[in-house]
A and B are shown apart, each in its own frame.
Chain A
Protein backbone atom coordinates (compact mmCIF):
# COMPACT_ATOMS: atom_id res chain seq x y z
CA UNK A 1 0.00 0.00 0.00
CA UNK A 2 1.06 3.53 -0.55
CA UNK A 3 2.24 5.65 2.30
CA UNK A 4 2.55 9.44 2.47
CA UNK A 5 6.08 10.68 1.73
CA UNK A 6 5.29 14.38 1.93
CA UNK A 7 2.97 15.72 4.55
CA UNK A 8 2.33 19.45 4.56
CA UNK A 9 -0.08 20.86 7.06
CA UNK A 10 -1.16 24.44 7.61
CA UNK A 11 1.92 25.99 6.06
CA UNK A 12 2.01 29.78 5.78
CA UNK A 13 4.76 32.04 4.60
CA UNK A 14 4.85 35.79 4.39
CA UNK A 15 7.53 37.94 2.86
CA UNK A 16 8.09 41.40 4.22
CA UNK A 17 8.86 43.64 1.32
CA UNK A 18 10.23 46.92 2.63
CA UNK A 19 9.03 49.90 0.66
CA UNK A 20 12.37 51.53 0.71
CA UNK A 21 14.95 48.96 1.33
CA UNK A 22 17.47 49.78 4.03
CA UNK A 23 20.54 47.73 3.43
CA UNK A 24 23.21 50.19 4.39
CA UNK A 25 24.44 51.07 7.86
CA UNK A 26 24.27 54.76 7.13
CA UNK A 27 20.54 54.57 6.69
CA UNK A 28 20.22 52.70 9.97
CA UNK A 29 22.39 55.19 11.80
CA UNK A 30 20.92 58.34 10.28
CA UNK A 31 17.33 57.29 10.68
CA UNK A 32 17.28 55.00 13.69
CA UNK A 33 13.64 55.81 14.52
CA UNK A 34 12.47 56.02 10.99
CA UNK A 35 10.82 52.66 10.74
CA UNK A 36 10.75 51.09 7.36
CA UNK A 37 7.25 50.40 6.20
CA UNK A 38 6.70 46.91 5.00
CA UNK A 39 4.26 45.48 2.59
CA UNK A 40 3.44 42.02 3.74
CA UNK A 41 3.12 39.62 0.90
CA UNK A 42 1.31 36.49 2.01
CA UNK A 43 2.97 34.02 -0.32
CA UNK A 44 1.39 30.94 1.21
CA UNK A 45 -1.68 30.85 3.40
CA UNK A 46 -2.57 27.71 5.33
CA UNK A 47 -1.57 25.18 2.69
CA UNK A 48 -2.08 21.50 3.46
CA UNK A 49 -1.73 18.39 1.35
CA UNK A 50 -0.09 14.99 1.29
CA UNK A 51 1.77 13.21 -1.46
CA UNK A 52 1.85 9.42 -1.57
CA UNK A 53 4.88 7.34 -2.36
CA UNK A 54 5.41 6.89 -6.08
CA UNK A 55 2.94 9.61 -6.94
CA UNK A 56 3.42 12.18 -9.69
CA UNK A 57 2.21 15.34 -8.05
CA UNK A 58 1.68 18.50 -10.09
CA UNK A 59 1.39 22.05 -8.80
CA UNK A 60 -0.22 24.66 -11.04
CA UNK A 61 -1.44 28.18 -10.59
CA UNK A 62 -1.05 31.64 -12.06
CA UNK A 63 2.19 33.61 -11.68
CA UNK A 64 2.81 34.75 -8.13
CA UNK A 65 0.45 32.21 -6.61
CA UNK A 66 3.16 30.75 -4.39
CA UNK A 67 4.16 27.67 -6.38
CA UNK A 68 7.90 28.25 -6.24
CA UNK A 69 7.79 29.37 -2.63
CA UNK A 70 6.01 26.14 -1.75
CA UNK A 71 8.64 24.13 -3.57
CA UNK A 72 11.44 26.00 -1.79
CA UNK A 73 9.84 25.28 1.55
CA UNK A 74 9.54 21.58 0.65
CA UNK A 75 13.21 21.59 -0.28
CA UNK A 76 14.18 23.36 2.94
CA UNK A 77 15.58 26.43 1.20
CA UNK A 78 13.02 28.71 2.83
CA UNK A 79 11.62 28.22 6.28
CA UNK A 80 7.86 28.44 6.76
CA UNK A 81 6.39 30.92 9.26
CA UNK A 82 3.91 28.40 10.62
CA UNK A 83 2.69 24.89 9.94
CA UNK A 84 4.68 21.71 9.51
CA UNK A 85 6.38 20.01 6.62
CA UNK A 86 7.41 16.39 6.85
CA UNK A 87 9.31 14.70 4.08
CA UNK A 88 10.13 11.03 4.28
CA UNK A 89 13.04 9.93 2.13
CA UNK A 90 15.90 11.53 0.27
CA UNK A 91 15.02 14.78 -1.41
CA UNK A 92 16.70 15.80 -4.60
CA UNK A 93 18.86 18.76 -3.57
CA UNK A 94 17.86 21.03 -6.45
CA UNK A 95 14.65 22.64 -7.58
CA UNK A 96 15.93 24.12 -10.78
CA UNK A 97 18.17 22.67 -13.40
CA UNK A 98 21.64 23.84 -14.31
CA UNK A 99 22.31 25.66 -11.04
CA UNK A 100 25.87 26.88 -10.97
CA UNK A 101 26.45 26.48 -14.70
CA UNK A 102 29.22 28.78 -15.81
CA UNK A 103 29.03 29.91 -19.45
CA UNK A 104 32.80 30.41 -19.63
CA UNK A 105 33.58 26.77 -18.90
CA UNK A 106 33.30 23.77 -21.20
CA UNK A 107 30.40 21.35 -20.97
CA UNK A 108 32.82 18.82 -19.47
CA UNK A 109 33.82 21.13 -16.60
CA UNK A 110 30.25 22.24 -16.04
CA UNK A 111 29.08 18.66 -15.72
CA UNK A 112 31.80 18.04 -13.14
CA UNK A 113 30.94 21.15 -11.13
CA UNK A 114 27.19 20.84 -11.38
CA UNK A 115 27.36 17.13 -10.59
CA UNK A 116 29.48 17.85 -7.52
CA UNK A 117 27.06 20.52 -6.35
CA UNK A 118 24.23 18.02 -6.72
CA UNK A 119 26.10 15.63 -4.47
CA UNK A 120 27.60 13.15 -6.92
CA UNK A 121 30.93 11.72 -5.82
CA UNK A 122 33.97 11.88 -8.03
CA UNK A 123 33.91 8.19 -8.97
CA UNK A 124 30.15 8.19 -9.57
CA UNK A 125 30.53 11.18 -11.81
CA UNK A 126 33.28 9.56 -13.88
CA UNK A 127 31.23 6.39 -14.24
CA UNK A 128 28.18 8.24 -15.48
CA UNK A 129 29.96 10.83 -17.54
CA UNK A 130 29.32 9.18 -20.89
CA UNK A 131 25.76 8.31 -19.96
CA UNK A 132 25.06 11.96 -19.18
CA UNK A 133 26.27 13.16 -22.55
CA UNK A 134 24.62 10.30 -24.38
CA UNK A 135 21.26 11.01 -22.80
CA UNK A 136 21.59 14.69 -23.60
CA UNK A 137 22.63 13.83 -27.14
CA UNK A 138 25.53 16.25 -26.83
CA UNK A 139 28.56 13.98 -27.23
CA UNK A 140 29.89 16.19 -30.00
CA UNK A 141 29.95 19.26 -27.78
CA UNK A 142 31.75 17.95 -24.70
CA UNK A 143 34.60 20.42 -25.02
CA UNK A 144 32.56 23.39 -26.18
CA UNK A 145 32.11 26.33 -23.87
CA UNK A 146 28.63 26.51 -22.48
CA UNK A 147 28.06 30.02 -23.75
CA UNK A 148 27.92 28.59 -27.27
CA UNK A 149 25.05 26.27 -26.32
CA UNK A 150 21.47 27.00 -27.25
CA UNK A 151 18.98 27.19 -24.40
CA UNK A 152 17.57 23.83 -25.40
CA UNK A 153 21.00 22.23 -25.22
CA UNK A 154 21.47 23.87 -21.82
CA UNK A 155 18.36 22.28 -20.40
CA UNK A 156 19.12 18.92 -21.99
CA UNK A 157 22.52 18.85 -20.37
CA UNK A 158 21.19 20.01 -17.01
CA UNK A 159 18.38 17.47 -17.01
CA UNK A 160 20.74 14.67 -17.94
CA UNK A 161 22.94 15.44 -14.93
CA UNK A 162 19.99 15.83 -12.60
CA UNK A 163 18.53 12.39 -13.29
CA UNK A 164 21.83 10.79 -12.29
CA UNK A 165 21.33 11.95 -8.72
CA UNK A 166 19.95 9.42 -6.25
CA UNK A 167 16.67 10.51 -4.69
CA UNK A 168 13.33 9.29 -3.40
CA UNK A 169 11.52 12.57 -3.89
CA UNK A 170 12.23 14.78 -6.90
CA UNK A 171 11.26 18.45 -6.72
CA UNK A 172 11.28 20.34 -10.02
CA UNK A 173 10.33 23.83 -11.04
CA UNK A 174 9.40 24.43 -14.69
CA UNK A 175 11.70 22.13 -16.57
CA UNK A 176 9.91 21.05 -19.66
CA UNK A 177 9.47 24.49 -21.17
CA UNK A 178 12.44 24.13 -23.49
CA UNK A 179 13.80 21.17 -25.40
CA UNK A 180 12.51 19.69 -28.62
CA UNK A 181 9.85 17.03 -29.02
CA UNK A 182 12.34 14.20 -29.08
CA UNK A 183 13.91 15.27 -25.82
CA UNK A 184 10.53 15.79 -24.18
CA UNK A 185 9.70 12.20 -25.12
CA UNK A 186 12.89 11.10 -23.37
CA UNK A 187 11.95 13.09 -20.29
CA UNK A 188 8.51 11.50 -20.18
CA UNK A 189 10.14 8.12 -20.44
CA UNK A 190 12.39 8.84 -17.45
CA UNK A 191 9.41 10.14 -15.48
CA UNK A 192 7.56 6.90 -16.14
CA UNK A 193 10.69 5.00 -15.16
CA UNK A 194 10.81 6.87 -11.85
CA UNK A 195 7.20 5.99 -11.23
CA UNK A 196 7.95 2.31 -11.73
CA UNK A 197 10.72 2.65 -9.16
CA UNK A 198 8.17 4.09 -6.70
CA UNK A 199 9.91 7.44 -6.74
CA UNK A 200 7.88 10.50 -6.00
CA UNK A 201 7.90 13.53 -8.27
CA UNK A 202 6.62 16.99 -7.45
CA UNK A 203 6.50 19.19 -10.53
CA UNK A 204 5.65 22.87 -10.73
CA UNK A 205 4.60 23.71 -14.24
CA UNK A 206 2.41 25.70 -16.56
CA UNK A 207 2.35 22.84 -19.02
CA UNK A 208 -1.13 21.52 -18.36
CA UNK A 209 -0.89 18.89 -21.10
CA UNK A 210 2.02 17.30 -19.28
CA UNK A 211 -0.01 17.12 -16.10
CA UNK A 212 -3.12 15.63 -17.65
CA UNK A 213 -0.94 13.04 -19.27
CA UNK A 214 1.32 12.16 -16.33
CA UNK A 215 0.12 13.49 -13.00
CA UNK A 216 -1.82 11.43 -10.50
CA UNK A 217 -2.78 14.38 -8.42
CA UNK A 218 -2.70 18.13 -8.99
CA UNK A 219 -2.73 21.04 -6.59
CA UNK A 220 -4.08 24.37 -7.83
CA UNK A 221 -2.79 27.40 -5.95
CA UNK A 222 -4.23 30.89 -6.17
CA UNK A 223 -2.92 33.81 -4.14
CA UNK A 224 -1.19 31.43 -1.75
CA UNK A 225 -4.29 29.35 -1.00
CA UNK A 226 -5.22 25.88 -2.07
CA UNK A 227 -8.01 26.32 -4.56
CA UNK A 228 -8.32 22.77 -5.73
CA UNK A 229 -6.66 19.46 -5.01
CA UNK A 230 -7.46 16.21 -6.71
CA UNK A 231 -7.36 14.21 -9.92
CA UNK A 232 -5.39 15.80 -12.70
CA UNK A 233 -8.13 16.20 -15.36
CA UNK A 234 -10.59 17.84 -12.96
CA UNK A 235 -8.16 20.32 -11.46
CA UNK A 236 -6.63 21.16 -14.80
CA UNK A 237 -10.09 21.71 -16.26
CA UNK A 238 -10.91 24.03 -13.40
CA UNK A 239 -7.70 25.97 -13.93
CA UNK A 240 -8.36 26.28 -17.64
CA UNK A 241 -12.01 27.10 -17.04
CA UNK A 242 -10.95 30.08 -15.00
CA UNK A 243 -8.76 31.24 -17.80
CA UNK A 244 -11.70 31.30 -20.16
CA UNK A 245 -13.89 33.22 -17.69
Chain B
Protein backbone atom coordinates (compact mmCIF):
# COMPACT_ATOMS: atom_id res chain seq x y z
CA UNK B 1 0.00 0.00 0.00
CA UNK B 2 2.71 2.44 1.00
CA UNK B 3 4.80 1.23 -1.93
CA UNK B 4 1.93 2.22 -4.18
CA UNK B 5 1.87 5.76 -2.88
CA UNK B 6 5.65 5.95 -3.22
CA UNK B 7 5.35 5.00 -6.85
CA UNK B 8 2.72 7.65 -7.35
CA UNK B 9 4.98 10.17 -5.66
CA UNK B 10 7.91 9.30 -7.85
CA UNK B 11 6.19 10.13 -11.07
CA UNK B 12 3.91 12.79 -9.67
CA UNK B 13 6.25 15.67 -10.36
CA UNK B 14 7.25 14.90 -13.92
CA UNK B 15 4.98 14.85 -16.93
CA UNK B 16 7.05 12.33 -18.87
CA UNK B 17 7.83 10.08 -15.88
CA UNK B 18 6.72 6.81 -17.43
CA UNK B 19 7.99 7.71 -20.88
CA UNK B 20 11.47 8.43 -19.52
CA UNK B 21 11.67 5.04 -17.91
CA UNK B 22 11.27 3.44 -21.34
CA UNK B 23 13.35 5.98 -23.23
CA UNK B 24 16.48 5.52 -21.12
CA UNK B 25 17.10 1.81 -21.75
CA UNK B 26 16.05 2.20 -25.38
CA UNK B 27 18.57 5.00 -25.93
CA UNK B 28 21.33 2.94 -24.33
CA UNK B 29 20.29 -0.02 -26.44
CA UNK B 30 20.43 2.02 -29.65
CA UNK B 31 23.93 3.27 -28.92
CA UNK B 32 25.29 -0.12 -27.91
CA UNK B 33 23.57 -1.84 -30.81
CA UNK B 34 25.03 0.57 -33.37
CA UNK B 35 28.53 0.25 -31.91
CA UNK B 36 28.67 -3.47 -31.28
CA UNK B 37 26.37 -4.96 -33.89
CA UNK B 38 27.10 -2.61 -36.79
CA UNK B 39 30.71 -1.62 -36.20
CA UNK B 40 32.15 -4.64 -34.38
CA UNK B 41 29.82 -7.06 -36.18
CA UNK B 42 28.81 -8.90 -33.02
CA UNK B 43 25.36 -9.20 -34.55
CA UNK B 44 26.64 -11.90 -36.87
CA UNK B 45 27.11 -14.42 -34.04
CA UNK B 46 23.42 -14.81 -33.38
CA UNK B 47 20.09 -14.15 -34.99
CA UNK B 48 18.80 -12.69 -31.80
CA UNK B 49 21.65 -10.37 -30.84
CA UNK B 50 19.38 -7.31 -30.70
CA UNK B 51 16.71 -8.83 -28.41
CA UNK B 52 19.37 -10.49 -26.35
CA UNK B 53 21.12 -7.15 -25.84
CA UNK B 54 17.91 -5.31 -24.99
CA UNK B 55 16.93 -8.00 -22.50
CA UNK B 56 20.31 -7.63 -20.82
CA UNK B 57 19.99 -3.85 -20.64
CA UNK B 58 16.46 -3.95 -19.25
CA UNK B 59 17.33 -6.57 -16.61
CA UNK B 60 20.41 -4.63 -15.62
CA UNK B 61 18.24 -1.50 -15.42
CA UNK B 62 16.11 -3.23 -12.78
CA UNK B 63 19.21 -4.29 -10.87
CA UNK B 64 20.85 -0.90 -10.98
CA UNK B 65 17.71 1.21 -10.33
CA UNK B 66 16.53 -0.93 -7.45
CA UNK B 67 19.90 -1.03 -5.73
CA UNK B 68 20.68 2.66 -6.12
CA UNK B 69 17.17 3.87 -5.25
CA UNK B 70 17.08 1.46 -2.33
CA UNK B 71 20.45 2.65 -1.10
CA UNK B 72 19.46 6.31 -0.84
CA UNK B 73 15.84 5.68 0.19
CA UNK B 74 16.34 5.88 3.96
CA UNK B 75 18.23 9.14 3.76
CA UNK B 76 15.77 10.57 1.25
CA UNK B 77 12.81 9.80 3.50
CA UNK B 78 14.50 11.15 6.58
CA UNK B 79 11.50 13.13 7.78
CA UNK B 80 9.30 10.03 7.77
CA UNK B 81 11.91 8.14 9.76
CA UNK B 82 12.07 10.85 12.38
CA UNK B 83 8.39 11.51 12.80
CA UNK B 84 6.49 8.34 12.15
CA UNK B 85 6.43 4.89 13.65
CA UNK B 86 6.22 2.14 11.06
CA UNK B 87 8.32 -0.82 9.94
CA UNK B 88 11.40 0.76 8.42
CA UNK B 89 11.68 -2.08 5.92
CA UNK B 90 8.82 -0.46 4.02
CA UNK B 91 11.07 2.34 2.74
CA UNK B 92 13.72 0.34 0.86
CA UNK B 93 11.04 -2.18 -0.16
CA UNK B 94 8.99 0.62 -1.71
CA UNK B 95 12.06 1.90 -3.55
CA UNK B 96 12.81 -1.51 -5.05
CA UNK B 97 9.16 -2.06 -5.95
CA UNK B 98 9.15 1.31 -7.70
CA UNK B 99 12.12 0.11 -9.76
CA UNK B 100 10.25 -3.15 -10.32
CA UNK B 101 7.24 -1.32 -11.76
CA UNK B 102 9.47 0.60 -14.14
CA UNK B 103 10.99 -2.73 -15.13
CA UNK B 104 7.59 -4.19 -15.91
CA UNK B 105 6.91 -1.29 -18.27
CA UNK B 106 10.26 -1.93 -19.98
CA UNK B 107 9.51 -5.63 -20.18
CA UNK B 108 6.62 -4.78 -22.50
CA UNK B 109 9.11 -3.30 -24.93
CA UNK B 110 11.22 -6.44 -24.77
CA UNK B 111 8.08 -8.49 -25.37
CA UNK B 112 7.45 -6.34 -28.43
CA UNK B 113 10.90 -7.19 -29.79
CA UNK B 114 10.43 -10.89 -29.05
CA UNK B 115 7.13 -10.84 -30.93
CA UNK B 116 8.75 -9.03 -33.83
CA UNK B 117 11.41 -11.75 -34.05
CA UNK B 118 8.52 -14.20 -34.38
CA UNK B 119 9.64 -16.52 -31.62
CA UNK B 120 6.79 -18.93 -30.91
CA UNK B 121 5.61 -18.60 -27.28
CA UNK B 122 5.93 -21.73 -25.19
CA UNK B 123 4.58 -22.81 -21.82
CA UNK B 124 8.02 -23.10 -20.23
CA UNK B 125 8.43 -19.32 -20.57
CA UNK B 126 6.57 -19.27 -17.26
CA UNK B 127 9.88 -20.31 -15.66
CA UNK B 128 10.94 -16.71 -16.24
CA UNK B 129 8.79 -15.78 -13.22
CA UNK B 130 10.80 -17.70 -10.59
CA UNK B 131 13.97 -16.40 -12.23
CA UNK B 132 12.74 -12.82 -11.83
CA UNK B 133 11.81 -13.57 -8.22
CA UNK B 134 15.37 -14.75 -7.67
CA UNK B 135 16.79 -11.60 -9.25
CA UNK B 136 14.47 -9.43 -7.17
CA UNK B 137 15.47 -11.18 -3.94
CA UNK B 138 19.14 -10.72 -4.73
CA UNK B 139 18.57 -7.08 -5.61
CA UNK B 140 16.51 -6.40 -2.49
CA UNK B 141 19.18 -8.01 -0.32
CA UNK B 142 21.84 -5.79 -1.85
CA UNK B 143 19.61 -2.72 -1.53
CA UNK B 144 19.12 -3.40 2.19
CA UNK B 145 22.86 -3.79 2.76
CA UNK B 146 23.60 -0.63 0.78
CA UNK B 147 20.83 1.37 2.50
CA UNK B 148 22.17 0.42 5.93
CA UNK B 149 25.73 1.34 4.96
CA UNK B 150 24.65 4.57 3.28
CA UNK B 151 23.19 5.88 6.55
CA UNK B 152 26.72 5.78 7.99
CA UNK B 153 28.92 6.28 4.96
CA UNK B 154 27.52 8.71 2.48
CA UNK B 155 30.17 7.96 -0.11
CA UNK B 156 28.70 4.51 -0.62
CA UNK B 157 26.89 6.44 -3.34
CA UNK B 158 30.11 6.91 -5.30
CA UNK B 159 31.33 3.40 -4.52
CA UNK B 160 28.17 1.78 -5.78
CA UNK B 161 28.05 3.93 -8.91
CA UNK B 162 31.47 2.57 -9.82
CA UNK B 163 30.46 -0.91 -8.72
CA UNK B 164 27.45 -0.84 -11.05
CA UNK B 165 29.60 0.27 -13.95
CA UNK B 166 32.05 -2.57 -13.37
CA UNK B 167 29.23 -5.08 -12.99
CA UNK B 168 27.67 -3.92 -16.25
CA UNK B 169 30.81 -4.82 -18.20
CA UNK B 170 31.50 -7.88 -16.06
CA UNK B 171 28.14 -9.30 -17.10
CA UNK B 172 27.53 -10.82 -20.51
CA UNK B 173 25.17 -8.06 -21.59
CA UNK B 174 26.98 -6.77 -24.68
CA UNK B 175 29.14 -9.78 -25.42
CA UNK B 176 28.12 -13.46 -25.43
CA UNK B 177 29.40 -15.34 -22.41
CA UNK B 178 31.13 -17.83 -24.70
CA UNK B 179 33.74 -15.14 -25.48
CA UNK B 180 35.14 -15.44 -21.97
CA UNK B 181 37.84 -17.98 -21.03
CA UNK B 182 36.42 -20.71 -18.75
CA UNK B 183 37.87 -19.36 -15.49
CA UNK B 184 36.48 -15.87 -16.13
CA UNK B 185 33.19 -17.40 -17.15
CA UNK B 186 32.88 -19.31 -13.88
CA UNK B 187 33.71 -16.15 -11.97
CA UNK B 188 31.06 -14.17 -13.80
CA UNK B 189 28.50 -16.90 -13.18
CA UNK B 190 28.92 -16.43 -9.43
CA UNK B 191 26.84 -13.30 -9.93
CA UNK B 192 23.17 -14.32 -9.71
CA UNK B 193 22.41 -11.59 -12.22
CA UNK B 194 24.44 -13.40 -14.90
CA UNK B 195 22.80 -16.71 -14.10
CA UNK B 196 19.30 -15.21 -14.37
CA UNK B 197 20.10 -13.34 -17.57
CA UNK B 198 21.57 -16.42 -19.26
CA UNK B 199 18.71 -18.63 -18.10
CA UNK B 200 16.08 -16.24 -19.44
CA UNK B 201 17.93 -15.92 -22.74
CA UNK B 202 18.23 -19.69 -23.03
CA UNK B 203 14.58 -20.15 -22.16
CA UNK B 204 13.07 -17.51 -24.38
CA UNK B 205 15.44 -17.00 -27.30
CA UNK B 206 17.55 -20.06 -27.86
CA UNK B 207 15.50 -23.12 -27.06
CA UNK B 208 16.48 -24.75 -30.32
CA UNK B 209 20.05 -23.51 -30.42
CA UNK B 210 21.67 -24.90 -27.27
CA UNK B 211 25.19 -24.14 -28.49
CA UNK B 212 24.56 -20.43 -28.65
CA UNK B 213 24.18 -19.84 -24.98
CA UNK B 214 25.68 -21.18 -21.83
CA UNK B 215 23.89 -21.22 -18.51
CA UNK B 216 25.20 -21.52 -14.98
CA UNK B 217 23.93 -25.08 -14.99
CA UNK B 218 26.55 -25.99 -17.55
CA UNK B 219 29.31 -23.84 -16.10
CA UNK B 220 29.35 -25.37 -12.62
CA UNK B 221 28.69 -28.99 -13.37
CA UNK B 222 28.03 -30.59 -9.99
CA UNK B 223 26.13 -27.89 -8.16
CA UNK B 224 25.01 -26.02 -11.22
CA UNK B 225 22.63 -23.17 -10.60
CA UNK B 226 22.56 -23.84 -6.89
CA UNK B 227 25.72 -21.76 -6.47
CA UNK B 228 24.40 -18.43 -7.77
CA UNK B 229 20.95 -19.14 -6.33
CA UNK B 230 22.58 -19.77 -2.96
CA UNK B 231 24.49 -16.49 -3.28
CA UNK B 232 21.25 -14.64 -4.05
CA UNK B 233 19.47 -16.19 -1.04
CA UNK B 234 22.42 -15.50 1.25
CA UNK B 235 22.50 -11.86 0.12
CA UNK B 236 18.83 -11.45 1.00
CA UNK B 237 19.25 -13.07 4.41
CA UNK B 238 22.33 -11.00 5.24
CA UNK B 239 20.56 -7.85 4.06
CA UNK B 240 17.50 -8.54 6.23
CA UNK B 241 19.57 -9.38 9.31
CA UNK B 242 21.81 -6.34 8.95
CA UNK B 243 18.83 -4.07 8.39
CA UNK B 244 16.95 -5.48 11.41
CA UNK B 245 20.02 -5.03 13.60
CA UNK B 246 20.54 -1.40 12.66
CA UNK B 247 16.84 -0.49 12.45
CA UNK B 248 16.44 1.10 15.92
CA UNK B 249 19.20 3.61 15.20
CA UNK B 250 18.20 4.81 11.75
CA UNK B 251 16.07 7.70 13.06
CA UNK B 252 18.90 9.38 14.91
CA UNK B 253 21.74 8.58 12.54
CA UNK B 254 20.16 9.39 9.25
| A contacts, CB < 8 Å to B | 15, 23-26, 28, 72, 75-79, 91, 93-96, 99-100, 102, 104-105, 109, 112-113, 116-119, 122
The answer on a CB contact under 8 Å between B251 and A72 is yes
Known: A24-B154, A109-B8. A94 touches B252 (CB 8 A): no
Taking a contact as CB atoms under 8 Å apart, the answer to whether B251 and A77 are in contact is yes
Give me 22 A-to-B residue pairs in the complex whose CB atoms sit less than 8 angstroms apart, sorted by A's number: A23-B153, A23-B154, A24-B155, A25-B153, A72-B251, A77-B82, A77-B83, A78-B252, A93-B85, A95-B84, A99-B79, A100-B79, A105-B12, A109-B8, A109-B12, A112-B5, A113-B9, A116-B5, A117-B80, A117-B86, A119-B86, A122-B1
- Residue pair B84, A25 in contact (C-beta under 8 Å): no
Q: Is B159 an interface residue (CB 8 A)?
A: yes
A96 touches B153 (CB 8 A): no
Closest to A79 in B: B248
Chain A proximity mask over B73-108: 1 for CB below 8 Å, otherwise 0: 000000111111110000000000000000000000
Q: How far is the CB of A13 from chain B (nearest CB, A)?
A: 9
Q: Tell yes or no: B249 within 8 A of A by CB.
A: yes
Interface of B toward A, CB cutoff 8 Å: 1-2, 5, 8-9, 12-13, 79-86, 152-156, 159, 248-249, 251-252
The answer to whether A76 and B249 touch (CB under 8 A), given A24-B153, A100-B79, is no
Q: Which residues of B contact A99 (CB under 8 A)?
A: 79-80, 83-84
Docked-complex contact B79 and A79, CB < 8 angstroms: no
Q: Give A69's nearest chain B residue, CB to CB.
A: B252
Q: Could you tell me if A75 and B85 are in contact, using CB atoms closer than 8 angstroms? A: yes
CB contacts (< 8 Å) of A118 on chain B: these are 84
| A104 in contact with B12 given A78-B251, A117-B2, A117-B80 (CB within 8 Å) | yes
Q: Given A79-B249, A117-B2, list of 9 further CB < 8 A pairs?
A: A72-B82, A76-B85, A77-B84, A93-B85, A93-B86, A95-B83, A99-B83, A112-B5, A119-B86
Docked-complex contact B159 and A113, CB < 8 angstroms: no
For A113, the chain B residues whose CB sits under 8 A away are: 5, 8-9
| Inter-subunit contact A102/B9 (CB<8 Å) | yes
CB distance from B108 to the nearest CB of A (A): 26
Chain A residues closer than 8 Å to B84, beta-carbon distance? 77, 93-95, 99-100, 117-118
Instruction: Please indicate the chain A residues that have their CB under 8 angstroms from the CB of B251 in the complex.
Output: 72, 77-78
> How distant is B11 from chain A, measured CB to nearest CB, in Å?
11
* Measured CA separation A79–B80 after assembly (Å): 16
A104-B13, A113-B9, A116-B1 as given contacts; A26 in contact with B155, CB under 8 Å: yes
Q: Top 6 closest A-B pairs, CB basis?
A: A113-B5, A24-B155, A93-B85, A96-B83, A79-B248, A99-B83
Residues in B neighbouring A96, C-beta threshold 8 A: 83
**Is the beta-carbon distance between B83 and A102 smaller than 8 angstroms?**
no
Q: A24 contacts which chain B residues (CB < 8 A)? A: 153-155
Closest to B79 in A: A99
Chain A residues with CB under 8 Å of B152's CB are 23
Query: How far does the alpha carbon of A95 sit from the alpha carbon of B248 in the complex, in Å?
Result: 17
Query: When chains A and B are docked, how far (Å) is the Cα of A24 from the Cα of B159?
Result: 11
In the assembly, what is the distance between CA of A24 and CA of B150, in Å? 9
Within the assembled complex, what's the spacing in Å between the Cα atoms of A26 and B159? 11
Q: Nearest B residue to A24 by beta-carbon distance?
A: B155
